[in-house]
Amino acid sequence: MAKWMSVAQVKEKIKESSAEEVTARYLELIGKSKINGYVTVSDKALEQAKKIDAEGHDGPLAGVPIAIKDNISVAGLPNSCGSKILEGYIPPFNAHVIEKLLAAGAVILGKTNMDEFAMGSSTETSHFGPSANPWDLERIPGGSSGGSAAVVAAGEAPFALGSDTGGSVRCPAAFCGVVGLKPTHGAVSRYGVVAYANSLEQVGPLANNVEDIAVLMDVIAGYDRRDSTSIESKTEYQKALVDDIKDLKIGVPKEFFGEGIHPDVEKAVWDAIHKYESLGASWEEVSMPNIKYALASYYIIAMSEAASNLARFDGTRHGLRANGENWHAMVSKTRAEGFGTETKRRILLGTYALSAGYHDKYYLKALKVRTLVKQDFDKALSKVNLLMAPTTPNPAFKIGEKIEDPLTLYLSDVNTCPINLAGLSSISVPCGFTDGLPIGLQIIGKPFDEPSVLRAAYTFEQNTDYHTKRPPEVA
């Protein structure tokens, strides 16, 4: 069996052999893994596959294995969010996207490593230690959905689910040389996904090619009455896979090529834009003056929402419980022990940003800046169909390189978080390499214009071969 298979190839293999055999093969690869991508391997995966073989299944993903980020609830599997505080917690219910996947016949291989509560861009804040980037085991895979990106890049799953709050799908996709989509806010239900920053995040797919992203979106997207922010849309994602971008108007926001950008990244992205030009598209530079404030706005909003979201981890109903002479002391000690340093920093900052006397200065201000950022995008996207920019200004960094300084770490999200602020759709596709490390091209579309985003990504893929490159170290 080939190590890297597309979903279509996996389905072919299942037909030739069995779902059980395919799942067993993935489990074997996971067993030999060098990247610490999974934090839990499901003991029910084989059983699930056997059941599909025995009973048959006509779902679009019958027997196809998938990896799930560890903040998406799967009934019966631990859901740790990369945190010690959730030690031993097993959700008694499935997230909406998991229900959809199971109904489609997918086999859940396990849960993947992530930055603690999705707070990070490297997986280094995970209680389970960092995952390795398959292209260079000394480097981080990006984050926070680093485990999902890494296992897809290493061939340990054909595709995976992540979640993207400020770049958490796209950043690791770029660093690991895979494709990752952040859908429009409201396109995919958040029910069962442990919240980091509610108004910003979405579940997003990661895969080795654009087609598999569309296949997965057709399964997981759609209205869910259990998520009040879910929005009805009739998008058919696979229908968008057309190798033709003639008359496409591309906007290139120069602010996304700011200081500190790696020259190879800049060049690779421009090469991609010129490639589109050669395929019949046109491009123009657009200006987005408020983008430079997006990162601060994003972090204030995310931390504020997070401080509140994470209040439920108090040792009372599940997970870690420390000893304390009374309930409040128990909670304070549990949270001190259970949360990692970066999570605590963000909770403290978020608490501060919402506290009496600072709410307007930080939280309200950030929401107003969010309006300005959104207006920049509205204006730019009224002139062009899509925006293109580097997903991250730099390729994957070394494990431990940035962990000590929160600000440099936050800068990894500089090109991705504005999209979350504005609630747009955006994809990262491989567009080159620098010193053997992948580079990601970010394609940004209007809300619910995933079809245009996917079509552009698909066309690029059909006319380049970056997505066929495999990391030598894990080959």
Nearer to other proteins, 117 or 256 (CB): 117
Contact partners, residue 304, CB within 8 Å, separation at least 6: 350, 353, 354, 362, 363, 366
Nearer to other proteins, 59 or 76 (CB): 76
Nearer to other proteins, 104 or 194 (CB): 194
Please report how close the Cβ of residue 312 comes to other proteins at its closest, in angstroms.
Answer: 5
Token pair of 218, please?
């057709």
Please report how close the Cβ of residue 245 comes to other proteins at its closest, in angstroms.
Answer: 26
Nearer to other proteins, 50 or 374 (CB): 374
Please report how close the Cβ of residue 7 comes to other proteins at its closest, in angstroms.
Answer: 26
State the Cα–Cα distance between residues 308 and 364, nearest whole angstrom: 16
Please report how close the Cβ of residue 265 comes to other proteins at its closest, in angstroms.
Answer: 23
Task: Name the residues annotated as catalytic.
Answer: 69, 144, 168
Please report how close the Cβ of residue 86 comes to other proteins at its closest, in angstroms.
Answer: 7
Nearer to other proteins, 61 or 72 (CB): 72
β-bridge partners, 443? 388, 427
Contact partners, residue 404, CB within 8 Å, separation at least 6: none
Contact partners, residue 385, CB within 8 Å, separation at least 6: 248, 249, 250, 445, 452
Calculate the alpha carbon distances from 41 to 31, 115, 237, 251, 386 in Å.
9, 18, 29, 43, 39
Judge contact between 204 and 214, C-beta under 8 A.
Answer: no
State the Cα–Cα distance between residues 325 and 409, nearest whole angstrom: 37
Nearer to other proteins, 267 or 328 (CB): 328
Angle at 212 between CA 148 and CA 395, to 5 degrees: 45
| E strand or H helix at 433 | strand 425-434
DSSP state of 181: E
Please report how close the Cβ of residue 395 comes to other proteins at its closest, in angstroms.
Answer: 24
DSSP string computed for 318-357: SS-----SSHHHHHHHHHHHHS-HHHHHHHHHHHHHHSTT
Nearer to other proteins, 345 or 469 (CB): 345
> Burial code of 5-28, b = ≥16 C-beta within 10 A, e = fewer?
bbbeebbebbeeebbbebbbbbbe
Residue type, 311: A
Please report how close the Cβ of residue 117 comes to other proteins at its closest, in angstroms.
Answer: 9
β-bridge partners, 182? 426
Judge contact between 152 and 208, C-beta under 8 A.
Answer: yes
